[in-house]
Amino acid sequence: MNQLDFRERHAVVTGGATGLGRGIAQRLIESGGSVTLWDRDAEAAEKAAWALGPRAFALRVDVAQQSSVAQAVAATLAQAGRIDALVNSAGITGPNAKLWDYPADAWREVMDVNLNGVFLCCREVVPPMRRQGYGRIVNIASVAGKDGNPNASAYSASKAAVIALTKSLGKELADTGVRVNCVTPAAVKTAIFEQMTPEHIAFMLSKIPMGRFGTVEEVAALAGWLCTEDCSFSTGAVFDLSGGRSTY
């Protein structure tokens, strides 16, 4: 494993109790930093922080609620003193259904977590990053936001919006010390697969030329680098991890 330099830095990782969020948190700790896991499952977040060791902390946060995010920012700053990186990894897939059959409540929930959650976390974390003159924001989008997966219109639309948000915010902060980028993985086998049908999982695998799913460690390696000072001339950028799927 290549050594990244995240020494003396502190990161917030949303959805950090499981899956990609936990993997990214582990990579940042292994790179010398500390992390606060934000997750709406408080028990899972506490267990993950305990497993990750003394440089991991946990907060119950609902990223879809501005008051919850604002309180979490204040609590994190009180505990850690600063937020050097924000990784927006919290996300849900929603049901697999044709758009005309898609439940309206499920659509709103996907947008609340996947898009509004990214907006609210960025909105609350950017001001302290600007005040300290430094920050790294990494949004976990998806290749579905580029291609559009059938039977996953809400998920695809939410991730396309995260890509656009990343580009806009990156430009808005380009004259500061804050860099904003996103990662667009193809399918990575995590617990989120439990929210999908077997048919949809098989469809996603069939689209990957490498013939396999990505790994948490592969996503964590790229996201971890995007959190470091070495990522200095990339902002508003989209980094593919698609096993050859993405064609643009």
**Burial readout 197-219 (b: 16 or more C-beta within 10 A, e: otherwise):** eeebeebbbebbeeeebbebeeb
* Beta bridge partners of residue 37, listed in sequence order: 13, 58
Nearest C-alpha neighbor of 106 from the set 139, 151, 140: 151
Q: Compute the distance between CA of residue 87 and CA of residue 95 in angstroms, rounded to an integer.
A: 25
SS3 23: helix
Q: In what order do the strands lie in the sheet with 178-185?
A: 56-60, 34-39, 10-14, 85-88, 135-140, 178-185, 237-241
Q: Compute the distance between CA of residue 8 and CA of residue 84 in angstroms, rounded to an integer.
A: 9
Residues taking part in catalysis: 155
Task: Name the residue with tokens 């003394």.
Answer: 54
